[in-house]
Each structure stands twice: as structure tokens, then as C-alpha cells.
């Protein structure tokens, strides 16, 4: 009975296939396109979901299958990587979100990794700006306008490890 049931199921599948007019090879292509469509949509949705307000809606590139349906085979999400003008702290927070959004998919693409690296560079620049602002505020509040006193305070902070060195490489 089991063999008969399997044979009946196979016959039904063949009948369905002929009803759609797809050969076995065409059905395999459709199955691959469906799989790719799911992967692309999940990948781009991950960027958009994590990027929140800094990410746009996914845009997809489609390919038509032998069944006449369109399947997403590529896609993109725009992500705002610009710094927040005049607010390095907000820029630091924004770049952390941008990096997480870029790396959100299970398998980030080379372009995703490049966006994450750009966010890291922008975050480092913002951290340097914030440290500069903090130093200027500390000097202004403490009344240390004397460069010798300011240098002494910097040396003391550096010797206690309060100031982390930041190296930024900028390609021209």
C-alpha cells in the first residue's frame, strides 16, 4: 500500500507540473529562485530593521522565473552615515547603530563590511571631537587658560590613563 501511495503522490506531482507547464529542470530553477528570494529579502530586512530611522526601505532587483513570477535576486537598503553636525555624542551613537545595521544579516556582504568600516571611522572621528570638547570645557571651567597648567593637567591625565590615544587614518 505504501508503494502505491508513493506512486500516487508522484503521479499527482507530475500532473501538477504538467498543469503549470514546467519541466523538472524549470521547476529546479524556480525552487532556486524562491530560495534566493527568501535570502535576499531576509538580508535586506535585517538592515532596515536594525538601522531604524537611519535606514531606508529595501529596494529589490528582480528576475522572472520560468513560471512567470518575479523573484528578488538582489537588493539594497540606503543607510545614512553622515555625522550629526555639532554633536559628536549623537554621532557616536548613530554610528554604532549604523555599524550594527550594516552587519545585521547573518552573512554580511563586502559592501556591508565597507559600510561598517566607514561607520567605525566616523565614530572614531566623533570620539576625538568629543574628547577635544571635553578638554576645552574642563579648561574653561577650571580657569586654566595658562598653557603650562593645561599641559600639566594633560600630562597628569595621560599618566593615569584617562586619555586614550586615538589614531585615525584618512585616505585621500
Q: pLDDT tens digit string along 155-171?
A: 444 444 443 332 222 22
For residue 142, what pLDDT is reported? 52
Q: Quote the CA–CA distance of 58 and 159 in Å, as a whole number.
A: 49
For the whole model, what pTM was predicted?
A: 0.67
| Rounded alpha-carbon distances, angstroms, from residue 18 to 7, 27, 66, 67 | 16, 11, 13, 12
Residue 38 domain boundaries: 17-78
Question: Which residue is it, cell 531604524?
Answer: 52
104 pLDDT exceeds 90? Answer: yes
Is 152 contained in some domain? no
Mean pLDDT for 26-48 is 97
Do 57 and 97 reside in the same domain of the chain? no
Mean pLDDT over 116-142 rounds to 90
Instruction: Say whether both 65 and 95 belong to one domain.
Output: no
Whether residues 21 and 74 share a domain: the answer is: yes
Residue 53 shares a structural domain with residue 87: no
CB 100 within 8 A of CB 108: no
Report the alpha-carbon distance of residue 163 to residue 155 in Å, rounded. Answer: 9
Quick check: is 10 in a domain?
no
Amino acid at each position: 500500500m505504501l508503494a502505491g501511495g508513493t506512486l500516487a503522490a508522484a503521479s499527482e506531482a507530475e500532473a501538477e507540473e504538467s498543469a503549470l507547464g514546467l519541466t523538472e529542470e524549470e521547476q529546479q530553477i524556480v525552487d532556486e529562485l524562491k530560495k534566493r528570494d527568501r535570502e535576499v529579502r531576509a538580508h535586506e530586512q535585517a538592515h532596515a530593521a536594525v538601522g531604524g530611522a537611519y535606514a531606508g526601505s529595501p529596494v529589490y532587483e528582480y528576475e522572472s522565473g520560468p513560471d512567470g513570477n518575479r523573484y528578488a535576486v538582489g537588493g539594497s537598503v540606503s543607510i545614512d552615515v553622515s555625522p550629526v553636525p555639532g554633536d559628536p555624542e549623537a554621532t557616536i551613537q548613530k554610528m554604532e547603530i549604523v555599524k550594527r545595521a550594516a552587519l545585521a544579516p547573518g552573512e554580511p556582504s563586502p559592501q556591508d563590511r565597507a559600510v561598517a568600516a566607514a561607520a567605525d571611522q566616523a565614530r572614531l572621528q566623533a570620539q576625538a571631537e568629543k574628547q577635544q570638547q571635553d578638554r576645552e570645557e574642563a579648561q574653561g571651567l577650571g580657569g586654566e587658560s595658562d598653557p603650562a597648567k593645561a599641559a600639566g593637567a594633560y600630562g597628569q591625565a595621560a599618566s593615569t590613563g584617562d586619555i586614550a590615544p586615538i589614531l585615525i587614518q584618512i585616505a585621500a
